[in-house]
């Protein structure tokens, strides 16, 4: 590639709603970076937040910025200090989107997923809604050749689901999944693969409840129109759930989920609420029941990736049914609007199409 | 004892504030019960709630009821089906105050502390503010002969502190204790004994902060008048605490404690808030930091009691400085009012004096 | 039943090899016992040891003794102090074969499976190769009505397999199962259900290797005739296994299994060696690799039973293929000889046929 | 420093017993290395093995090699790619002796202590019995200015003890330490600091048993001349130990230690046996008792170092009494012979004296 090579990319060019298609320079990898030709990139709810320019985005995003952080592709160049056992030209890789510092206490303890110095691809550094992206070699993960690029792209988000499920012990347990957006949907086959006896999923959207059934929920219930406790009663033998996986961020889902937990149950929380909780009965929902609540951030580096690899290699989790839409990258607007509509699972885009 | 033997006891005789001294029949132990001559009984915050007849008491207490649940004494009679290796006349015992069902899932899993069928001595059944009490043999714990009756009585409450500290790993950790009431105070030497590097305690009461220093807090800080983060900064190397032990139930303490936790930290919550939380930033305080929150109820049956035994036998925890007042049981009113004033550690009463 | 009711039973009537069919009195349940009409009983390797009168049996068994400890049946009478929520006439139950003391430290800590005062049904007390058996109500486990009596009988032994697998984390892990006797065979679908990515099983018997394939092993290998490391190499990505489940008791299997473990791997050992190890490289097999070795005894009370219930209810483990032979109880000699031949999975017998 | 600067060092110059004092070039740090002026270096049993040229050394050591791996010093130069937040000239550092690859599965999982590609300073690369040493910046650990150089040097070995104790839960437990060499001695105050109730130490050497008492063992017993079980009986309440820390590598100590463990106990093994075990009753010592055995290698990266920092900062572990001898580096022969005699704790040497 010559120094002046350019590429198509999707960027937030100025403060305010919306993205633009731009021509950008193909990035030059630093000494410990690799340059990846993007083969597929998938849409995350965070991308929609940045697109719509919500409060969080306004405080965090510094335009101009190429967006997107879920992707897969082929390595086309490596920096001078990249060792062959780390990455080589031709490798088919996905990327961990969290660039961690490697030197803080969390990183030195193997807890990079909560490194306080984390920079996120497509949020703090240029992202993958583009033909090429350069990232640190430490952030690459080699995929098997047999994996589809669509599934390979999804792994970053899949990792949130795997991390959430793996944070608790679901072996032989009754599990309530509140929220059937992409991460919630993906958590269902993972909970099954890791030994859950019964999985009950909830959402307000009939579209998503259908997807939940498709990926293996024993029951998929709309708690606004059905009596969740009564419907689940047989499945949990009148006892409450052993485990709550809160994937929605909706406060009523959190409260109902904790209320339906058994004494001594575990709750893993991935969903982020729209704001502070204004009416939360910590005494009865957590303390007096002896519940343990696990806040979940990102993916364990690299435990979660090894778990993902195993789940996909064993064939016990099939992400294909969760991919509901595919677009060329040039139709990013359609992709984002579809995601925003709530009537989708995961959406994958393909640069260069 | 003849069938008509009577004893002095302190009881809630009718709905409404206050207790009365009554003459009651000495209880007759059932086939699996033991009769204990009470040698010391200590005052719990719960006793004050019942005395004052707060909202919780109004919903739970059914007068007439002899109150009190922290005590020690000597076994003076055993039921027909009590085996000698369980209890014998002459045993010096303390009591677990939670009478559990033994047949529910929690009990069968060794999680009796969260048995949903728990009845509490002095709350749901007649208590120990009396000369004698009959309880199930399963609820007795043999003490070493060398233990003082004052310390022996405290163990029920001490167990809350031990359970809270033991629920997390404090080995080599920096620990924040919010709330220096009796359980908070007792948690300080326990955290030290279990390996905490640094212990910072907070309370609004100078009296209690003095006690906290006396029992070994490295720093004891009033967060209303001092900058806790700044004061603790050196002790935690500018990083936040590894562990929060929330012993106060005060929402501002909970929020500040979680805010000062490191990413990946652990919080064990024993204190009960006066009501629901109305302004709780779960996203930033728990989820995105990857914090684990442990709700703590009662004492592990019987792991906590074995831990208490070890801590007291090793001499690494001294509960004596936490006992600030002693009264004959007949002066229960003075004891309860002193407890209610906030100017006390533990208060021990002696029947028959 | 009248006091003089008798029943057919199979017993060790005197020191020495062999059993006899006897007429015995139907047992009378004590106040905390239940009387069970045996519907099915299965053969354990231990029964074969007692039958053959091996060294262990000579030291442990005190004739006369009705043998057998794996069974299921219907409760036909309950003792005076059995509560209805514990057991009722008509209940369809299986039995935990370990009668534990309930008062030792292990029992009080929820670790009854290693109670030092354990008495075993059919070993220390009269067993279930009979039309009726009386056992403590605490040892009963209620089965769903839909469960077959053959599967219900197997649960005691199934619990050994579940306990072994559950003692380690197999989620996303590569697992080596050494030994495909009944417990080894049963561990295969359990490991799958609890999340194992790859399961490789070994045995010297082609018959058992066929059964291993049938119940789901990815590879079933005879290490005496095949190069296990080479055959498993692809499955474990040239890295060694994450987990060893040692179910054979054969020292060469143990050594090979530990040798093929990754650094930091986990080994759960259920199989008992015929004697002491005479050539065991603890340094290289365990210490320098940072391996953790879990000795497995019995079933966790009652965690393992809840896990079994979940596995069978979810339909993720099917024990039916492991049942290779069925006999009327009167043909106990055929059953025991078949078991001793090594050419069987589990063998179930039916009294009264 | 000029390119031709030389320094004094102690090296294995050829295959066979012994070391020599040599003049070596001061090493030049690579781009990710730091150059350290050695202020203190301590003697490890491994150094004695290399000195004596035992079987292990003959297979592993490739002369010429500067030996030694426990040390502390000041950074006097840093490589071109070392970042200031990692290391700076003037830093007072100790060193992790295991140089790990950073790219294998173990390393990516935060389990660098069992990286299969580990190279050890002073074993596989030039060591610290010298005036200067260059090591990767990732292997440095910053010490507080107030720490003595003698204690700072000991940390590598101290970490073995901390790792061993921390691998199990000693809170409120009775602990048996078999072997009072340096690592065994150091494990005693660590076990105390992490909450052990009772610590019983064994060794065959009266000299070492005296040191064990000095650092806090409740009982220090010679099992060859005393009845360990009887002597410890009161301390463990006739029940066996909760935890075994095997620090000797002596097979009889391992066997006796496991024999005296409670059912369900934990054993952490650091000591390496002189060869294979020839008479090891795995059934009774491990499996049927439900014991968990933890093989311990190296130090957790970097959890163990953080724990060490906390223990030393809190002042709850004092390593000073364990330092029994000090020499100038030029008297390395005296240091090694003293170590070999068994009549020493830790021995510290000072270059340039």
Q: What is the pLDDT of residues D278-306, one digit of tens each?
A: 999 999 999 999 999 999 999 999 999 99
Contact between A295 and B289 using a beta-carbon 8 Å cutoff: yes
Determine the pLDDT at residue A352.
Answer: 87
pLDDT at C2 over 70: no
Least CB-CB distance to B171: which of D173, D194, D198? D194
pLDDT at C274 over 80: yes
- The burial class, CB within 10 Å (0-12 / 13-18 / 19+), for A55 is exposed
Claim: this prediction has a pTM higher than 0.90:
yes
Beta pairing, strands A6-12 & A65-66:
antiparallel
Percent of the residues in chain D that have a pLDDT greater than 90, as a whole number? 97
- The burial class, CB within 10 Å (0-12 / 13-18 / 19+), for B144 is exposed
Percent of the residues in chain D that have a pLDDT greater than 70, as a whole number? 99
Q: What is the pLDDT of residues B214-261, one digit of tens each?
A: 999 999 999 999 999 999 999 999 899 999 999 999 999 999 999 999
Q: Which stretches within C124-233 are classed as H helix?
A: 149-166, 182-193, 206-214, 228-232
User: What average pLDDT does range B53-74 have in this prediction?
Assistant: 97
Q: Which of D4, D13, D41, D46 is catalytic?
A: D46
Contact between A293 and B295 using a beta-carbon 8 Å cutoff: yes
Chain C residues near residue D264 by CB distance under 8 angstroms: 106, 109, 111, 114
| Contact indicator for A40, A152 with CB cutoff of 8 Å | yes
| Contact indicator for B349, B42 with CB cutoff of 8 Å | yes
How would residue D3 be classed by pLDDT, with cut points 50, 70 and 90? low
Q: Which of D13, D21, D49, D292 is catalytic?
A: D49
Interface test with C, best of A146, A172, A219 (most C CBs within 10 A): A172
| Contact indicator for C79, C48 with CB cutoff of 8 Å | no
Q: Which stretches within D101-168 are classed as H helix?
A: 105-108, 149-166
In the block, residue with structure tokens 């207790």:
B19
How would residue C3 be classed by pLDDT, with cut points 50, 70 and 90? low
Chain B residues near residue C103 by CB distance under 8 angstroms: 83, 85-86
pLDDT at A202 over 80: yes
Contact between A103 and D110 using a beta-carbon 8 Å cutoff: no
Chain A residues near residue D110 by CB distance under 8 angstroms: 109-111, 303
| Contact indicator for B37, B58 with CB cutoff of 8 Å | no
C46 is catalytic: yes
Which long-range contacts link B325-332 to residues 24+ away (Cβ below 8 Å)?
B326/B150, B326/B350, B328/B353, B329/B8, B329/B10, B329/B41, B329/B129, B329/B353, B330/B8, B330/B21, B332/B10, B332/B19, B332/B21, B332/B129
Contact between C278 and D282 using a beta-carbon 8 Å cutoff: no
Residue partners of A140: CB distance under 8 A and separation at least 6: A34, A36, A75, A86, A87, A91, A93, A94, A95, A96
Least CB-CB distance to C310: which of A197, A310, A311? A197
Rg of chain B, C-alpha, whole Å: 20
Nearest CA in chain C to B32: C81
Instruction: Tell me the pLDDT of chain C averaged across its residues.
Output: 96
Interface test with A, best of D33, D100, D110 (most A CBs within 10 A): D110
Instruction: Tell me the pLDDT of chain B averaged across its residues.
Output: 96
Q: How many C/D residue pairs have CB atoms within 8 Å?
A: 118
3-state SS assignment for residue A241: strand
Alpha-carbon span D214 to D219, nearest angstrom: 11
Topology given in CATH for the domain delimited by D6-154+319-350 = Quinone Oxidoreductase; Chain A, domain 1 (3.90.180)
pLDDT at B1 over 50: no
D118 is catalytic: no
Q: What is the pLDDT of residues A44-98, one digit of tens each?
A: 999 999 999 999 999 999 999 999 999 999 999 999 999 999 999 999 999 999 9
Residue partners of C106: CB distance under 8 A and separation at least 6: C100, C112, C114, C115, C116, D262, D263, D264
How would residue C1 be classed by pLDDT, with cut points 50, 70 and 90? very low
| Contact indicator for A298, A98 with CB cutoff of 8 Å | yes
CA angle, residues B294, B300, B303, in degrees to nearest 5: 120
CA distances from residue B124 to B47, B141, D6 in whole angstroms, order as listed: 13, 20, 82
pLDDT at D353 over 90: no
User: What average pLDDT does range D8-34 have in this prediction?
Assistant: 97
The two three-digit tokens of residue B248, written as one number: 């106060």
Q: What is the pLDDT of residues D190-234, one digit of tens each?
A: 999 999 999 999 999 999 999 999 999 999 999 999 999 999 999
Nearest CA in chain C to D288: C297
CA nearest to D231, candidates D221, D244, D240: D221
Cis peptide leading into residue D302 (ω within 30°): yes
Chain D residues near residue B198 by CB distance under 8 angstroms: 314
Contact between B289 and A115 using a beta-carbon 8 Å cutoff: no
Partnered with residue B202 across adjacent β-strands are: B178, B221
How would residue D352 be classed by pLDDT, with cut points 50, 70 and 90? confident
Contact between B195 and D193 using a beta-carbon 8 Å cutoff: yes
Chain B residues near residue D193 by CB distance under 8 angstroms: 195
Nearest CA in chain A to B264: A114
Beta pairing, strands D174-178 & D198-202:
parallel
Rounded-to-10 torsion of CA A226, A228, A229, A235: 120
Distance, in angstroms, between B297 CA and closest chain A CA? 5
Q: What is the pLDDT of residues D144-166, one digit of tens each?
A: 999 999 999 999 999 999 999 99
Residue partners of A2: CB distance under 8 A and separation at least 6: none
Which long-range contacts link C45-48 to residues 24+ away (Cβ below 8 Å)?
C45/C181, C45/C182, C45/C339, C46/C123, C47/C122, C47/C129, C47/C336, C47/C339, C48/C336, C48/C339, C48/C340
Contact between A292 and B294 using a beta-carbon 8 Å cutoff: yes
CA nearest to A325, candidates A184, A69, A150, A129: A150
Distance, in angstroms, between A44 CA and closest chain C CA? 25
Alpha-carbon span B72 to A226, nearest angstrom: 51
Determine the pLDDT at residue B65.
Answer: 98
Contact between C307 and A171 using a beta-carbon 8 Å cutoff: yes
Contact between D108 and A83 using a beta-carbon 8 Å cutoff: no
| Contact indicator for C80, C33 with CB cutoff of 8 Å | no
Determine the pLDDT at residue D1.
Answer: 47
The two three-digit tokens of residue B275, written as one number: 């009501």
Rg of chain D, C-alpha, whole Å: 20
pLDDT at D39 over 50: yes
User: What average pLDDT does range B301-329 have in this prediction?
Assistant: 97
Distance, in angstroms, between C190 CA and closest chain A CA? 9
Contact between D306 and B198 using a beta-carbon 8 Å cutoff: no
Alpha-carbon span C106 to C113, nearest angstrom: 8
Partnered with residue C177 across adjacent β-strands are: C201, C245
How would residue C151 be classed by pLDDT, with cut points 50, 70 and 90? very high
Percent of the residues in chain A that have a pLDDT greater than 90, as a whole number? 98
Interface of D with B (CB under 8 A): 166, 171-173, 193-198, 306-307, 309-311, 313-314, 316
Partnered with residue B38 across adjacent β-strands are: B73
Least CB-CB distance to A105: which of B239, B282, B288? B239
CATH of domain B161-295: 3.40.50.720
Determine the pLDDT at residue A1.
Answer: 47
pLDDT at B11 over 60: yes
Q: Which of B41, B46, B118, B202 is catalytic?
A: B46
Q: How many A/C residue pairs have CB atoms within 8 Å?
A: 40
Contact between A194 and C194 using a beta-carbon 8 Å cutoff: yes
Nearest CA in chain D to B167: D171
Instruction: Tell me the pLDDT of chain A averaged across its residues.
Output: 96
Distance, in angstroms, between D260 CA and closest chain C CA? 13
Least CB-CB distance to C287: which of D263, D269, D279? D269
3-state SS assignment for residue D266: strand
User: What average pLDDT does range D339-346 have in this prediction?
Assistant: 95
pLDDT at D238 over 90: no
ipTM given for this complex: 0.97
| Contact indicator for D297, D113 with CB cutoff of 8 Å | yes
Q: Which of C13, C49, C292, C325 is catalytic?
A: C49
Chain D residues near residue A306 by CB distance under 8 angstroms: 105, 108-109
Residue partners of A253: CB distance under 8 A and separation at least 6: A178, A179, A202, A223, A246, A271
Contact between A103 and D109 using a beta-carbon 8 Å cutoff: no
pLDDT at A316 over 90: yes
Locate the domains of chain B by residue range.
Answer: 6-154+319-350, 161-295
| Contact indicator for B54, B12 with CB cutoff of 8 Å | no
Alpha-carbon span D294 to D296, nearest angstrom: 6
Contact between A86 and D109 using a beta-carbon 8 Å cutoff: no
């Amino acid at each position: 590639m010559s120094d002046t090579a350019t590429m198509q990319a999707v960027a937030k060019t100025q403060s305010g709603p919306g993205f633009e298609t731009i021509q950008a320079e193909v990035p030059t990898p630093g000494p410990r970076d690799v340059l990846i030709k993007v083969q597929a990139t998938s849409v995350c709810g965070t991308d929609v937040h940045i697109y719509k320019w919500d409060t969080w985005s306004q405080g965090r995003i510094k335009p101009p910025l190429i967006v997107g952080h879920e992707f897969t592709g082929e390595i086309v160049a490596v920096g001078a200090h990249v060792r062959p056992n780390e990455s080589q030209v031709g490798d088919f890789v996905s990327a961990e989107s969290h660039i961690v510092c490697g030197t803080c206490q969390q990183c030195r303890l193997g807890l990079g997923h909560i490194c306080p110095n984390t920079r996120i691809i497509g949020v703090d550094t240029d992202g993958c809604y583009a033909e090429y992206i350069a990232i640190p070699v430490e952030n690459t993960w080699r995929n098997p050749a047999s994996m589809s690029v669509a599934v390979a792209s999804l792994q970053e988000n899949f990792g949130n689901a795997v991390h959430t499920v793996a944070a608790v012990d679901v072996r032989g347990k009754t599990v309530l999944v509140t929220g059937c957006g992409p991460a919630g949907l993906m958590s269902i086959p993972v909970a099954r693969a890791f030994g859950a006896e019964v999985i009950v999923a909830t959402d307000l959207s009939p579209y998503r409840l259908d997807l939940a059934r498709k990926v293996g929920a024993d029951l998929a219930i709309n708690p606004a129109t059905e009596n969740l406790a009564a419907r689940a009663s047989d499945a949990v033998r009148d006892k409450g759930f052993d485990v709550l996986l809160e994937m929605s961020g909706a406060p009523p889902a959190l409260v109902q989920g904790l209320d339906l937990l058994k004494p001594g149950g575990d709750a893993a929380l991935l969903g982020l609420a729209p704001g502070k909780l204004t009416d939360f009965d910590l005494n009865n929902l957590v303390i007096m029941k002896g519940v343990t609540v696990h806040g979940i951030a990102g993916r364990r580096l690299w435990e979660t990736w090894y778990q993902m690899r195993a789940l996909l290699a064993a064939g016990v989790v099939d992400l294909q049914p969760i991919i509901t839409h595919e677009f060329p990258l040039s139709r990013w607007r359609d992709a984002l609007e579809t995601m925003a509509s709530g009537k989708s699972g995961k959406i994958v885009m393909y640069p260069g199409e």
